[in-house]
Structure formats: structure tokens, C-alpha cells
């Protein structure tokens, strides 16, 4: 199959819907969703009642924005507060298709509907086509990534090699021995695979058969994309979504941002008030997926972005998100994993020598770097702190020890995100 075929076409008509029609369709879907959630998801009913509202009060966009946003960290306690994930779910747990656990303590329920997470249009836009043989390098255990991103491949008629993460040698062996045309995983991992192959004397263009890649879970810089596209002679496209929501937006062949998914309502809001901002301003991405099983209405992702409304050459009419421009609250995402200060605190309380701690995330040369700064009162084995942190948060920090005299101030923030995306 030539690259022109991969770059052309749409998965379905909704991608070319006129704007007016899209707005009306999404509004009707949103209104129907809150009616269903009011009747079947007690947690939503309580949220609406606390705002002094009923579904009948939601008649316009102005009414809609009065619905208080739901934050990811609220899920932690809410999901454990009662049956059906504390009334967030409209079905019994046993009637789901799967129940995942995203990093940390949050459950992610998957219903039985076809294309449940909505990634299929994204994979089509990334150039995946029927009869592709695709190597899946996201994990399959507990976290949703592997299975969630297999779903669109099944919809499109591709075959999947469920390789999972790690095992670089074996990944190279499979990709160079078999006609693997697609890759799904982190761009940084594809780079590691490529570099390993090159070190073995292999040529990415002639020893591999890759034509397209769908990457996610970490920031993709244009330098990394170009490096991969050039060395393999392939397309590299990314999508944006979360374990709770599924697909939110995705790149098309023409790039320049990520088209909003046809299966959710996306708002850009003031991170403090939850009120929508004027078009083009940067704010928090607030998403309502049209998911009657798990109606996370007005779910605040904590990610910052802005909307691009200029027409796209690809013919898709949905506005685009201008990538993820930062984090709105006190969590940060590193290598696809969220870091919550309370998770770090849970690890740190095992080390009584630690007086204060701080997590600092930076990105020298565009690569995420995690540092755990410790102020200690007594000797500590930094390797065991590192191991405990990795066990609890699935990320390995560099540990830097400070004595009391050069220690952290009492009000030092638990999490500092110093990453700079200017040069991306």
C-alpha cells in the first residue's frame, strides 16, 4: 500500500460534518447524557443537586457551564464510596467488559459497546489500514493502554502482535523478521528500538517494513517525529486521550494540532472556575465523552491547551487542540504516568529520616527528567528510596540529598514542573 492511500480518506462522515451540524449533534448528545446520568448515576445527580440544578435547568450553553467540573483526584475517594464506583457507573461492575486500573488508585471501567474508547477514527487518520500487521508495545496488565488501543486495530481489520513494553532485543527481532507495517507505543520506545537495530548493523529503511506509527502517553516533539519519520520512511502520528475518557483528539496527515474526537464534547476552561474561555485562549481541557456507561460529565483533565479553528487541508472539519501546553493543577505526567503528591507522600512516610521532600520535573534537551529532592535528618540509603519510589509510582527518579542547612523551605511545593516546551 502506498503512502498516498494511507494519507487519504476518512473513517466516517462525522469527521466532515459542517460545524453547525456538529454543534447541534453534540449538544443533543450532551443533553441526553445528563438525563441518563441523572436517572442512573447517583454521583452525577448529587453533583447537579449540589449546584442547585436538575437536568431541566440545562437548556443552553450558559446553563451547561454551571455544571461543576469533576476532577480526576475526586475520583479516588468517590469511586470507593459505594456501589458502582460510588455511583459514577450506570451498570454493575460485573456487566462491564473490563475493569482497568490506571497508574495509582483509579479504576477505569470499559463497557461492551463497539469502539468503546473511540480511537478508531484516530488510527485511520494516522494511516492504519486493513491488513496491516501491527506491533503493540503498550502494556496489557491492569492499565488500559494495550487493550484500549487494540480495539481500533480490530475495528480496522489489522492484525496485532501483542508484544507489550520492554524486551527491546525481541522487539527488534520480530519487527525485522516479519512484515510488521504498524507500530503502537511511545515514540521514545520506537527510538530505542531503532537505535538498538542500528547498533546491530541493521538499516531502519530496508530491514524494517514500518509504514505508520501511532504514538501516545508522552510529549512528541517535532524533532523526534522527524527523526523517526526520516529514518524509517514512515508516518508518525499521535493521539490525545486518557485512561478515563478514551480518545479526545488526534492528528491527521496534515498535522498542525489534533482534531477533536467526534464522540465527546471538549471545552477549554478557566482552570480555577471551570468556565469556558473565549476561542483561542489557553485553558484546561474539560471533556464530556458521550459514554452512558461511565458518564464523566465535564471531566477536567488537568491538561492545558487551546483551540485552533482554522480549516485543515485534510478536509476534517473539527477544530483542533494545539497540543498539550502544560498541567493545570498539582499533578504532572511523566512518561505517561501521573505523579500525585499524595502518592509520593505515601512512599516518603516509610523513611522517617526524611524531613522534607520535593519532586522536580524538568526536560533538559527535551527529555523528561525526574528528581526527588530530600532534606534528611539522618543517613539514608538513596537507592532504597529510589526503589520504593519506583515501586509506588512506576517511575525512577534521580535522588538528591540535602542537609538541613541547604534544605527545602517549609512551604516548598511538593511538585515542581520546570519543563519548558518552547523549543518543541
Cell 487551546 appears where? 306
State the cell numbers at 66. 454551571
Q: 241 or 253, CB closer to Zn ion?
A: 253
Compute the distance between CA of residue 308 and CA of residue 311 in angstroms, rounded to an integer: 9
Question: What does the per-residue mask of binding to Zn ion show for 131-160, with x meaning CB under 5 A?
Answer: ------------------------------
CB 314 → Zn ion: shortest distance, Å? 3
CA 268 distance to own-chain centroid: 16
Compute the distance between CA of residue 135 and CA of residue 119 in angstroms, rounded to an integer: 17
Compute the distance between CA of residue 106 and CA of residue 72 in angstroms, rounded to an integer: 9
Give the SS3 label for residue 263: coil
Interface with Zn ion, residue 318, by CB under 5 A: no
Interface with Zn ion, residue 72, by CB under 5 A: no
CB 231 → Zn ion: shortest distance, Å? 25
Q: 253 or 283, CB closer to Zn ion?
A: 253
Specify the DSSP class assigned to residue 276. Answer: B
CB 213 → Zn ion: shortest distance, Å? 18
Q: What is the CB neighbour count within 10 angstroms for residue 398?
A: 12
Interface with Zn ion, residue 252, by CB under 5 A: yes
Q: 257 or 341, CB closer to Zn ion?
A: 257
State the cell numbers at 366. 527535551
CB 11 → Zn ion: shortest distance, Å? 13
Q: 107 or 220, CB closer to Zn ion?
A: 220
Q: 55 or 152, CB closer to Zn ion?
A: 152
Compute the distance between CA of residue 334 and CA of residue 411 in angstroms, rounded to an integer: 24
Specify the DSSP class assigned to residue 404. Answer: G
CB 357 → Zn ion: shortest distance, Å? 44
State the cell numbers at 400. 538528591
Compute the distance between CA of residue 348 and CA of residue 362 in angstroms, rounded to an integer: 21
Q: 34 or 312, CB closer to Zn ion?
A: 312
Question: What does the per-residue mask of binding to Zn ion show for 209-248, with x meaning CB under 5 A?
Answer: ----------------------------------------
Give the SS3 label for residue 15: helix
CB 310 → Zn ion: shortest distance, Å? 10
Interface with Zn ion, residue 316, by CB under 5 A: yes
Q: 5 or 390, CB closer to Zn ion?
A: 5
Q: 6 or 316, CB closer to Zn ion?
A: 316
List binders of Zn ion among 253-272 (CB under 5 A).
254
State the cell numbers at 85. 464506583
CB 311 → Zn ion: shortest distance, Å? 9
Q: How many residues bind Zn ion (CB under 5 A)?
A: 5
Question: What does the per-residue mask of binding to Zn ion show for 341-360, with x meaning CB under 5 A?
Answer: --------------------
Compute the distance between CA of residue 216 and CA of residue 75 in angstroms, rounded to an integer: 23
Q: 152 or 319, CB closer to Zn ion?
A: 319
Q: Which residues contact 211 (CB under 8 A, 6 or more apart)?
A: 1, 3, 6, 127, 132, 181, 182, 234, 235
* Contact of 328 with 302, CB cutoff 8 Å: yes
List binders of Zn ion among 296-315 (CB under 5 A).
312, 314
CB 309 → Zn ion: shortest distance, Å? 12
For residue 135, give the nearest of 156, 158, 115 by alpha carbon: 158
Binding residues (CB under 5 A) for Zn ion: these are 252, 254, 312, 314, 316
Amino acid at each position: 500500500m502506498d503512502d498516498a492511500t494511507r494519507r487519504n480518506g476518512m473513517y466516517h462522515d462525522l469527521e466532515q460534518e459542517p460545524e453547525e451540524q456538529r454543534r447541534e449533534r453534540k449538544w443533543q448528545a450532551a443533553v441526553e447524557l445528563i438525563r441518563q446520568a441523572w436517572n442512573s448515576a447517583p454521583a452525577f445527580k448529587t453533583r447537579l443537586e449540589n449546584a442547585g440544578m436538575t437536568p431541566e435547568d440545562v437548556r443552553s450553553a450558559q446553563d451547561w457551564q454551571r455544571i461543576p467540573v469533576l476532577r480526576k483526584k475526586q475520583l479516588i475517594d468517590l469511586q470507593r464510596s459505594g456501589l458502582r464506583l460510588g455511583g459514577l457507573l450506570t451498570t454493575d461492575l460485573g456487566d462491564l467488559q473490563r475493569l482497568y486500573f490506571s497508574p495509582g488508585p483509579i479504576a477505569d471501567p470499559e463497557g461492551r459497546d463497539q469502539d468503546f474508547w473511540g480511537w478508531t477514527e484516530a488510527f485511520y487518520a494516522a494511516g492504519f489500514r486493513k491488513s496491516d500487521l501491527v506491533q503493540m508495545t503498550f502494556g496489557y496488565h491492569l492499565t488500559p493502554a494495550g487493550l484500549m488501543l487494540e480495539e481500533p486495530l480490530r475495528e480496522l481489520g489489522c492484525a496485532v502482535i501483542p508484544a507489550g513494553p520492554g524486551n527491546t532485543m525481541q522487539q527488534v527481532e520480530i519487527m525485522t523478521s516479519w512484515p510488521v507495517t504498524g507500530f503502537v507505543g511511545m515514540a521514545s520506545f520506537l527510538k530505542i528500538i531503532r537505535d538498538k537495530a542500528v547498533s546491530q548493523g541493521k538499516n531502519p529503511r530496508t530491514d524494517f517494513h514500518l509504514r505508520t506509527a501511532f504514538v501516545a502517553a508522552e510529549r512528541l516533539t517535532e524533532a523526534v517525529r522527524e527523526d523517526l519519520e526520516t529514518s524509517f520512511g514512515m508516518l508518525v502520528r499521535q493521539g490525545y486521550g486518557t485512561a478515563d475518557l478514551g480518545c479526545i483528539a488526534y492528528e491527521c496527515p496534515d498535522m498542525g494540532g489534533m482534531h477533536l474526537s467526534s464522540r465527546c464534547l471538549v471545552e477549554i476552561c478557566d482552570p480555577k472556575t471551570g468556565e469556558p474561555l473565549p476561542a483561542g485562549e489557553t485553558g484546561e481541557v474539560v471533556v464530556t465523552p458521550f459514554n452512558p456507561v461511565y458518564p464523566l460529565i465535564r471531566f477536567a483533565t488537568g491538561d492545558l491547551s487551546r483551540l485552533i479553528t482554522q480549516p485543515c487541508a485534510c478536509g476534517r472539519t473539527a477544530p483542533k487542540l494545539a497540543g498539550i501546553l502544560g498541567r493545570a493543577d498539582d499533578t504532572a505526567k511523566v512518561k505517561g504516568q501521573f505523579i500525585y503528591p499524595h502518592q509520593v507522600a505515601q512512599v516518603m512516610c516509610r523513611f522517617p529520616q526524611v524531613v522534607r521532600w520535593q519532586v522536580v520535573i524538568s526536560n533538559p534537551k527535551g527529555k523528561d527528567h525526574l528528581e526527588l529532592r530530600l532534606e534528611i535528618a539522618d543517613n539514608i540509603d538513596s537507592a532504597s528510596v529510589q526503589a520504593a519510589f519506583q515501586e509506588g509510582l512506576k517511575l525512577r527518579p534521580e535522588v538528591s540529598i540535602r542537609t538541613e542547612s541547604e534544605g527545602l523551605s517549609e512551604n516548598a511545593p511538593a511538585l515542581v514542573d520546570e519543563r519548558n516546551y518552547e523549543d518543541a
